[in-house]
Amino acid sequence: MLQHTAGNEAGRSTPIVTVENLVKRFGHFTALNDVNLSVAAGEKIVLCGPSGSGKSTLIRCINHIEKHDGGRIVVDGVELTGRMDDINGVRREVGMVFQSFNLFPHLSVVENCMLAPMKVRALSRAEAHERAIGLLRKVRIHDQANKYPGQLSGGQQQRVAIARALCMQPKIMLFDEPTSALDPEMVKEVLDTMAELARDGMTMVCVTHEMGFAREIADRVVFMDRGAIVEEADPETFFRAPRTERARDFLGQIIH
């Protein structure tokens, strides 16, 4: 049942993320069962699958927000297993965007973006401000820099969350269903921002049900079900000719 990870891009360079035989349990429930995945620098991976299939848990393990129970995770040469003295060293290089944005409501948009670079990267206030404004401009929301998150729409908040993560200059970006909490008319602005980031060469792992986005951006689509990777292929192959029954069922349900 387990697919090996020799995705079409692997081998072109050293993987920036390697996941081997990963196991994660929540009590008696096994959320991830012997998962293997490797992500090459610059690669864009879309993780999809029915809810409860373990996609979110997998990317949350990659920056150790969830602690795994077995197997190995190596991110940017650092192994996230055993003693975790350097976990923040890994997290500095891994940006994450959440379904529910998780912006800091008591800080303005620009302050949201400045906090971590100042505290973690030891940037001066002026440097952090300059970087924040630059990235807010990139996600086209710099004119709202002094507003508070509560004053913005969902799409705007999610773009701020992307800029906030980018301010740490991560080597890889994880997206955990970034458009699932948005009103339909705001999905596009966020996907456009992500697509632009992909074109800039960012390494991305996205959990999303936006199959149009997957088709356009992904180098590889990874389909998960019941805590395991069931199928992985380039988007063209995956959407045209899914090999497994479960992938066909899944695609049948979400593509009308």
Partner 1 sequence: MNSLDFSIVLQAWPYLWSGLLFSLALTAVAFVVGLVLGTCLALVQHFEVPVLGKLVRGYVALMRSIPLILVLFWFFFLVPIVLGHLSGNGRPVPIGATWTAFITFGLFEAAYYSEIIRVGLRAVNKGQFEACQALALSTFDTYRSVILPQVLRVASPIILSQTIILFQDTSLVYVLSLTDLLGAASKLAQLNGRLVEMYLVIAVVYLAISSAASQCVASLRKRYAIAGR
Q: How far is the CB of 177 from partner 1 (least distance, A)?
A: 13
Q: How far is the CB of 205 from partner 1 (least distance, A)?
A: 13
Of the pair 103, 202, the CB lying nearest partner 1 is at 103
Residues at the site binding partner 1, with contacts judged by CB under 8 A: 63-65, 88-89, 91-92, 94-96, 98, 100-106, 115-116, 119-120, 148, 150, 164-165, 168
What distance in Å separates the CA atoms of residue 68 and residue 46, rounded to the nearest whole number? 21
CB of 97 vs partner 1, minimal distance in Å: 9
Q: How far is the CB of 253 from partner 1 (least distance, A)?
A: 28
Nearer to partner 1, 102 or 244 (CB): 102
Q: Which is nearer to partner 1, 41 or 84 (CB)?
A: 84
Smallest gap, in angstroms, from Cβ of residue 63 to partner 1? 6
Task: Kindly tell me which of 67 and 137 has the beta carbon lying closer to partner 1.
Answer: 67
Q: 101 or 238: whose CB is closer to partner 1?
A: 101
